[in-house]
Structure 1
């Protein structure tokens, strides 16, 4: 969290204790709180509890902070796959619809010459699984501890992403 975000949000937010704050002021309070450790900051509890209550109501719209050009919050449960892996899906439905992108996959050449460890470049016909040496291996995709994020612009004009969770 940069100092410029703190200054911009503090100016835009005004008092963190105002319970009847206008929507944009409340959005700036929320941005300031989610950019830090809101659970451990008592002054963040009123605007965040207000947010959690509002999220349960029909027609909820995430409060934004125009002073920081903040976006509405988005949720991305899964972290990036490790380098060399691609995003995969655990299931494909009847209509070819994919499930959640909850797997990491990569193609591996499993045919090796066991004496020197080099790949075999000719088809292997005596393998139990057929002639293919290329197999897709997969693993569960890492899950984020902070699955929510808000994007905002700091005082220098740089765009940032603040990750947070809504656990009380």
Structure 2
């Protein structure tokens, strides 16, 4: 029975047609095991011990959120098309939301951190106003000279997806 529990713990909820969450929690896995009559009942602590004993981690080591949006692939291709061919009369602004924690750094945010450092040139300005003025001057200078980014991840396998994998990363 413990082997069966560990086998199920190594699967993804999507493998069981569950789209409400993308990874198991101890509570959700325990409920699933009872629902599928693998065990009549199991506590979270017992389940944790079984998994730990067999060195099964129910947590993914990298942060990954799966989408349960049925139109995800179409939306993804639309966004990639915008990156490849931005509108001539406007800009494409991309923000990647990182759960409830904060905004996940994107290349835009990384460039801003680099430009902030470059604009300040290792100096210690006496006020935030002076820091912001130096950064603003650099942003204005750079905006005159910048070329739009196109062909985002041109060789990435995501461009060939026709369905959304349960775990893509």
TM-score interval, normalised by the smaller of the two chains: under 0.3
TM-score normalised according to structure 2 size: 0.23
Higher strand share: 1
TM-score normalised according to structure 1 size: 0.23
Higher helix share: 2
